[in-house]
Amino acid sequence: MILDVSDASFQAEVLDRSATVPVIVDLWAPWCEPCKTIGPILEKLTKAANGKVVLAKVNVDQNPAIAAAFKAQSIPAVYAMKDGAVLDGFVGAYPEHVIEEFVRGLVPGEALVSVESLLALGDETSLGAAFMLEPTNELVVVALAKLLISRSDIPAALALLTSIPSTPQIQLLVDEAKLAFAPTDDFDDQLSNLLPKVKLDDDARAAYLAILETMGVNDPRTAGHRKKFTAQLF
């Protein structure tokens, strides 16, 4: 769990919550460049801990009382709390493996789930969890998209593939997905019948657009039908 915590919510979200689960307090600010480095690492490792720890993010510019309570002289400053007391902490940016050991120390006996291990499992649940941890990881996106294509869920696969910057491998999968698409609806026929009428008939035009909306941008046919619509109007 990842929370944005304020001066007003600190008691409930951090101190009280720390009675049941370790809470990592991340003191940061938008202008702090090192904060931008360790923030995503802390978020990823918190997710990998599967609910065994909570991450409380505190913008010190907006919440000076919390920063004062920790006597923070500089940021990023990270503290681990349990039962209302500080267990451990560090100040400054550290490599991921150091931060991972810090988090692992809060959940003894628990293994942090890695993207690599989830990829190795390869089932839909594991790949979905890997995507939650690293949604821009191309290996994760490719593996999950291949699974979706294999079960003919083409719109979902295309939505996934277009969620990250295109690469040659991503484009190959996009092309594969479009070739594998086998519609079970009659939208093509409906749109073909409506197309000659859309220029002069408001109802036909509205019906055509409604079908395109239902199909959605990730239906491989949508772009082609939209081009035909535009050509018919002008």
pLDDT value at residue 104: 81
In 3-state terms, what secondary structure has residue 28? strand
Name the residue among 90, 94, 79, 95 with its Cα closest to residue 25. 79
DSSP letter, residue 57: E
Q: What is the 3-state secondary structure (H, E, C) of 63-104?
A: CHHHHHHCCCCCCCEEEEEECCEEEEEEECCCCHHHHHHHHH
Question: How far apart (Å, rounded) are the C-alpha atoms in residues 37 and 80?
Answer: 19
Instruction: Say whether both 175 and 201 belong to one domain.
Output: no
Q: Which of 104, 123, 146 is the last residue of a domain?
A: 104
What are the pLDDT digits (tens) for 179-189? 888 777 888 88
Instruction: Say whether both 149 and 212 belong to one domain.
Output: no
Instruction: Say whether both 204 and 220 belong to one domain.
Output: yes
User: What's 37's domain CATH number?
Assistant: 3.40.30.10
What torsion do the CA atoms of 131, 136, 137, 139 make, to the nearest 10 degrees?
Answer: 80
Name the residue among 81, 62, 99 with its Cα closest to residue 11. 81
Question: How far apart (Å, rounded) are the C-alpha atoms in residues 126 and 191?
Answer: 39
Q: How many CA atoms lie within 13 A of 110 on its CB side?
A: 18
Name the residue among 49, 51, 30 with its Cα closest to residue 41. 49
Instruction: Say whether both 100 and 165 belong to one domain.
Output: no
Question: Is 110 part of any domain?
Answer: no
Question: Is 51 part of any domain?
Answer: yes
Instruction: Say whether both 20 and 54 belong to one domain.
Output: yes
Is the distance from CB of 48 to CB of 107 less than 8 angstroms? no
Question: Is 62 part of any domain?
Answer: yes
Instruction: Say whether both 95 and 136 belong to one domain.
Output: no
Active site residues: 32, 35
Instruction: Say whether both 165 and 227 belong to one domain.
Output: no
Instruction: Say whether both 198 and 217 belong to one domain.
Output: yes
Is the distance from CB of 58 to CB of 26 less than 8 angstroms? yes
Domain extent, residue 136, equals 115-180
pLDDT value at residue 109: 58
Question: Is 77 part of any domain?
Answer: yes
Helices H, strands E: what count in the chain? 12, 5
Question: How far apart (Å, rounded) are the C-alpha atoms in residues 234 and 93?
Answer: 58
Amino acid, res. 8:
A
Q: What residues contact 2, with CB distance under 8 A and at least 6 apart?
A: 43, 46, 47, 54, 55, 57
pLDDT value at residue 55: 92
Q: Which of 143, 160, 180 is the last residue of a domain?
A: 180
Question: Is 28 part of any domain?
Answer: yes
Q: Which of 45, 73, 104 is the last residue of a domain?
A: 104
Question: Is 64 part of any domain?
Answer: yes
How many structural domains comprise the chain? 3
Question: Is 17 part of any domain?
Answer: yes
Instruction: Say whether both 41 and 134 belong to one domain.
Output: no
Instruction: Say whether both 224 and 173 belong to one domain.
Output: no
Per residue of the chain (234 residues), give pLDDT as tens.
888 888 888 888 888 888 888 899 999 999 999 999 899 989 988 888 877 888 999 998 898 888 888 887 888 899 988 888 888 888 888 888 888 888 888 876 555 667 777 788 788 878 887 887 778 889 989 999 998 888 888 888 888 888 888 899 898 988 888 888 877 788 888 888 888 888 888 888 899 899 888 888 778 888 888 888 898 888
Question: Is 109 part of any domain?
Answer: no
Tokens of 10: 């600190």
Say which residue the tokens 């919550």 belong to. 17
Instruction: Say whether both 98 and 8 belong to one domain.
Output: yes
Amino acid, res. 137:
N
Instruction: Say whether both 65 and 136 belong to one domain.
Output: no
